[in-house]
């Protein structure tokens, strides 16, 4: 009995110790969560510091805590464009903010529509007589488009700027698949539907080349026009017509070459830049180290300047990323998730609905699922506006067709009204390795689809007929929505991609304008006056663990301003990006997907973004970033 009592007391002691340990861990975690949240109390007089360490996006992806902790790498930052615009507009009218500073050292890019909207907000800050300063080690196309609106552009003397323009190469696997004996069975409708070409050809078709030339040509013209308007002294022609000669004229010094071309104003390291900001916004009273200045960071600024909620709510549903079946997202447009959000909002008595689309398309089933959910709001008699962001193509346009009025920007990419499906079969591969297929079938469809033996003609005919039927549905939806006859709709369709300016002329969109214009139109149609409404973003609410996870995983190297690396280190990093790109291409042919309405021509950043999200840190030395900027 004495021994049993000792054992019992030992077990009780272990239990009490475990309870105490878990309680300590719980309260430590609770404290960490609370302390990681941005607080309005962190706002102070000085500069608004916006460190864009990542991408500008339409909708932030939610961090998977388990995946992030297992990978032991901090996820790449994502900054919603509307948050940045709101922060800048608030700074323009707030006396506490003396200047705005953009640190673009680790900026990875964003769509032209987003960057132009942010640039226009920067213009409003400058119109309020507040200086805006930009700093980076290296400026690429996206960073230059944003920085052009600043009153002062600084670059590190070891850095520079390079303008590449849109475009690049795709990978084509046609010959490889033939050598492997893989039969990429393609079912498509649309002369310009080039999403299947990488699996059937070894080079770009003339129809696809024509479409790429029109789209990228329009994007390039808009980029140049916007930069020249914001920064007239920028000699873009010098930089792009003879880039090697331009650099050689400065003896290979890219920073001096950038200044000679009017792309930047001043050369200096972060310490010199910080001293300049301190002259304008004040010195940091808590930290006198070189490069510091009085500043408020973006997160607490947003927390302390939250907009009010006057009047009636206007719902905003975001369709961002590839449209897929199921509950994926945010950051990916899961059809079921978005349809559920819309259905839950049916009881909220919304005065109007705005559908914000930034998607290259995807699943036709998910696109129709979302469109039907939008129509259920429309059936309540409320106005529905569609606001196109950078992309609203293929499945994105399928969804957009549900709107009463469609808004787009000149830089928006839309159209791509066409569908396709790909199913690989391996009869050639099987024959190469000595595998044969035989059996008994009661009908032509018995045992189908047979991926090893291949498809009989009947299966091919059925799949092509199904694809044609979905295309006909797509055409019917577009024709009814836009008031076209089917012949007119088919002429504008065929998978062809259009820029926003062409789309407006052709009647695929109604007018130029961004999200604010779409909201204002919807409010007007609902009979609401200025100040009598506010937007409600359906499903918005960042995971409270996001900032905590970032803090836990951020290494000392990631906290440094500009970790050094060279071109060879970056080349090794690019191997990972190339692998991710190939994996994405293979996933498109091998994944279990239905008929797709997806735009291959659309200049999306998904491959680079997905790769960056899993890597530990960013390189910022300019020579190391040169290839990255050309990306």
**183-189 and 419-425 strand pairing:** antiparallel
8 Å CB contact between 528 and 534 = no
Q: Where are the beta strands (DSSP E) in 6-96?
A: 46-51, 54-57, 77-80
How high is the pLDDT of residue 619? 35
Predicted confidence (pLDDT) per residue in 146-179, tens digit: 999 999 999 999 999 989 898 888 888 889 888 8
The domain ranges of the chain are 43-163+231-304, 168-222+312-631
Q: What does the alpha-carbon distance between residue 491 and residue 486 come to, in Å, rounded to a whole number? A: 9
Q: Which of 194, 387, 394, 547 is catalytic?
A: 394
Identify the sign of the CA torsion 259, 261, 262, 263: negative
How high is the pLDDT of residue 207? 85
How high is the pLDDT of residue 92? 95
Domains 43-163+231-304 and 168-222+312-631 share a fold: yes
Predicted confidence (pLDDT) per residue in 187-244, tens digit: 888 776 677 888 888 998 888 888 889 899 999 999 999 999 999 999 999 999 999 9
193 is catalytic: yes
394 is catalytic: yes
Q: What does the alpha-carbon distance between residue 371 and residue 333 come to, in Å, rounded to a whole number? A: 12
How high is the pLDDT of residue 441? 82
How high is the pLDDT of residue 186? 84
pTM score, whole prediction: 0.84
**Domain 168-222+312-631 is found in CATH 3.40.47.10:** no
Cα R_g (the chain), whole angstroms: 27
Residue 455 in tokens: 């498809």
Secondary structure class of 78 (helix, strand, coil): strand
CATH assignment of 43-163+231-304?
Answer: 3.90.226.10
Identify the sign of the CA torsion 441, 446, 451, 454: positive
The backbone torsions φ and ψ at residue 84, rounded to the nearest 5 degrees and listed phi first, read: -65, -40
How high is the pLDDT of residue 581? 65
How high is the pLDDT of residue 552? 54
Torsion of CA 111, 112, 114, 120, to 10 degrees: 160
Q: What does the alpha-carbon distance between residue 571 and residue 208 come to, in Å, rounded to a whole number? A: 30
pLDDT below 50 — which residues of the chain? 33-36, 555-574, 606-631
Q: Which of 98, 193, 256, 609 is catalytic?
A: 193
Q: Where are the beta strands (DSSP E) in 12-85?
A: 46-51, 54-57, 77-80
How high is the pLDDT of residue 593? 64
């Amino acid at each position: 009995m004495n021994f049993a009592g000792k054992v019992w007391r030992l077990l009780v002691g272990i239990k009490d110790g475990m309870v105490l340990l878990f309680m300590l861990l719980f309260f430590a975690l609770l404290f960490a969560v609370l302390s990681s949240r941005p607080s309005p109390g962190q706002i102070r007089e000085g500069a608004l510091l916006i460190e864009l360490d990542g991408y500008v996006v339409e909708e932030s992806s939610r961090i998977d805590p388990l995946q992030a902790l297992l990978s032991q790498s901090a996820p790449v930052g994502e900054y919603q464009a509307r948050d940045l615009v709101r922060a800048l507009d608030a700074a323009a009218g707030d006396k506490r903010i003396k200047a705005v500073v953009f640190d673009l050292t680790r900026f990875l890019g964003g769509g032209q529509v987003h960057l132009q909207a942010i640039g226009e907000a920067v213009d409003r800050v400058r119109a309020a007589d507040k200086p805006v300063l930009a700093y980076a080690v290296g400026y690429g196309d996206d960073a230059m488009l944003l920085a052009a609106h600043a009153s002062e552009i600084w670059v590190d003397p070891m850095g520079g700027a390079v303008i590449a323009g849109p475009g690049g190469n795709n990978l084509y696997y046609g010959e490889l698949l033939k050598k492997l004996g893989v039969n990429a069975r393609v079912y498509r409708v649309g002369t310009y539907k080039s999403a299947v070409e990488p699996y059937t050809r070894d080079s770009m078709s003339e129809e696809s080349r024509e479409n790429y030339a029109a789209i990228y040509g329009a994007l390039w013209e808009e980029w140049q026009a916007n930069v020249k308007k914001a920064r007239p002294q920028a000699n873009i022609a010098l930089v792009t017509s003879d880039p090697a000669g331009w650099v050689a004229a400065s003896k290979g010094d890219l920073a001096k070459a950038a200044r000679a071309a009017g792309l930047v104003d001043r050369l200096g390291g972060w310490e010199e830049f910080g001293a300049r900001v301190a002259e304008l916004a004040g010195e940091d009273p808590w930290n006198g180290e070189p490069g510091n200045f009085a500043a408020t960071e973006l997160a607490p600024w947003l927390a302390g300047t939250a907009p009010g909620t006057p009047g009636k709510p206007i719902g905003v549903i975001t369709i961002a990323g590839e449209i897929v079946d199921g509950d994926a997202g945010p950051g990916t447009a899961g059809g079921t998730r978005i349809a559920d959000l819309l259905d839950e909002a049916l009881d909220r008595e919304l005065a109007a609905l705005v559908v914000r689309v930034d998607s290259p398309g995807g699943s036709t089933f998910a696109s129709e699922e979302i469109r039907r959910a939008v129509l259920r709001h429309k059936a309540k008699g409320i106005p529905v506006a569609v606001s196109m962001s950078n992309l609203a193509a293929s499945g994105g346009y399928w969804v957009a067709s549900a709107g009463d009025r469609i808004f787009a920007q000149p830089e928006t990419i839309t159209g791509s009204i066409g569908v396709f499906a790909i199913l690989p079969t391996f009869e050639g591969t099987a024959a190469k390795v000595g595998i044969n297929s035989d059996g008994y079938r009661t009908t032509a469809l018995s045992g189908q689809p047979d991926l090893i033996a291949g498809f009989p003609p009947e299966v091919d005919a059925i799949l092509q007929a199904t694809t044609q039927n979905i295309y006909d549905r797509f055409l019917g939806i577009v024709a009814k929505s836009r008031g076209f006859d089917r012949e007119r709709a088919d002429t504008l369709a065929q998978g062809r991609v259009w820029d926003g300016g062409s789309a407006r002329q052709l009647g695929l969109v109604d007018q130029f304008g961004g999200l604010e214009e779409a909201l204002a139109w919807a409010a007007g149609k609902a009979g609401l006056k200025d100040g009598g409404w506010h937007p409600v973003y359906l499903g918005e609410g960042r995971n409270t663990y996001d900032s905590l996870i970032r803090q836990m995983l951020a290494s000392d190297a990631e906290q440094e301003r500009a970790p050094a690396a060279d071109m060879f280190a970056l080349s090794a990093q690019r191997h990972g990006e190339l692998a991710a790109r190939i994996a994405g291409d293979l996933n498109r042919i091998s994944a279990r997907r239905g008929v797709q309405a997806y735009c291959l021509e659309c200049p999306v950043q998904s491959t680079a973004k997905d790769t960056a999200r899993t890597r530990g840190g960013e390189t910022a030395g300019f020579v190391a970033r040169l290839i990255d900027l050309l990306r």
